[in-house]
Amino acid sequence: MCTPFHGPRQPICCARHLLCVAAEAPQLTVMALTPLPWPDADDIVRVLLIDDDEADARTTCELLDGPGGPCHYRTEVVGSLATAREVLGRGHFDIILLDLTLPDAPGMEGLTNLLDEVNDIPVITLAEDDDLLVADACVREGAQDCLVKDEMTRRSLERAIRSSIERLRKQAMLKALSLTDELTGLYNRRGFMLLGDQQLRLAQRAGRGLTVASIDLDGLKTINDTFGHAEGDIAIVQTADILRTSFRSADILARFGGDEFVALAIDTEPSGEQVILDRLRARVHEYNLVHGRGYRLSFSIGVAQFDPQQWASLEQLLALADRKLYSQKHASRAERAKVLSFPAPWARVATVASGPFLFDC
């Protein structure tokens, strides 16, 4: 067993934090591209060692606990991938050391399943033999490195851990820059499709539902033409803020461009569609009551449900949500045409006062 570290030292910065920061304020990520100092005397490196061989696990722990560089390791040992999932659900680790001969996930199966669930923690695989084909396969699959157990030393293990954490951290920084929308800080199309596909696979495996919402900011062209593009940008940013307060932090929000937004709500029931619509209506109504900018925000929304019993791709769910969105738009335009075909003085005044929109979402 590894000796737990006791002391006031602080854990190191992780890639997950960098991705969250980038999603909320991408301009901070540009500043963060300057290399961060690591490690120093106050660092704890939290290690999850997944190895069912007690002798091998003890040897690895002794290497980490022995005298060497400036790092201090807090290691937790588990003997199966199933137990690792439980431990990962309770806390975060900075590095995972994964044996390739686990009883419940041997070989590349263990690595593939693990990376499907924790792609924000670097993984180093531990192999029994010095097989270059295995090492190459691990790296191609997403591992940061592959070490041979019998050849590991304190120095080689620490070097691999340090470089793996730094590499993933820089990858996370660069990925965050390429996955976020510059104006709103939400994900862009690439980020949404990447993270959405991952959540879809997890939902299918766990038997959980998902909700995909396609959301259009109504009348953006009218805002731009009437008040200027700077005001249009403000409306776009305010829409992103309303979406943040309407969805949970675990949900995935994105701006596809222009007035198009999408959301993926995780772990939802079939009734989740109405909950989302009601919450959005309330948030938009609150915003329009408080902010008087000469126009009112209004959304058109289409929602599609993912049933884990009936597979559908993310592209198919988005297409279904889009069809529902445009059906709502056509119905609204027809209603508007019906209202305007019988103009009355009070109706004209109401139209001007409320801006270019007929209704709040």
Tell me: the pLDDT tens digits for 105-122? 888 999 999 998 887 899
pLDDT of the residue at 297: 93
| Total residue length of the chain | 361
The CA dihedral of 99, 105, 106, 107, to the nearest 10 degrees, is -80
Q: State how far the Cα of 85 lies from the Cα of 117, in Å rounded to an integer.
A: 9
pLDDT of the residue at 100: 92
pLDDT of the residue at 15: 43
Q: Return phi, psi of residue 310, to 5°.
A: -135, 100
Q: How far is CA 348 from CA 7, 211, 282, 344, in A?
A: 71, 38, 26, 6
The 10s digit of each residue's pLDDT in 150-167 is: 999 999 999 999 999 998
- Considering only residues 176 and 138, tell me which one the structure prediction assigns the higher pLDDT: 138
Give which of 148, 39, 163, 33 is closest to 101, Cα–Cα: 148
- Considering only residues 38 and 211, tell me which one the structure prediction assigns the higher pLDDT: 211
CA angle 179, 180, 184 (to 5 degrees): 165
Q: State how far the Cα of 199 lies from the Cα of 354, in Å rounded to an integer.
A: 39
Domains of the chain: 10-179 (3.40.50.2300), 189-353 (3.30.70.270)
> Is 244:253 a contact under the CB 8 Å cutoff?
yes
pLDDT of the residue at 262: 97
Mean pLDDT over 38-62 rounds to 83
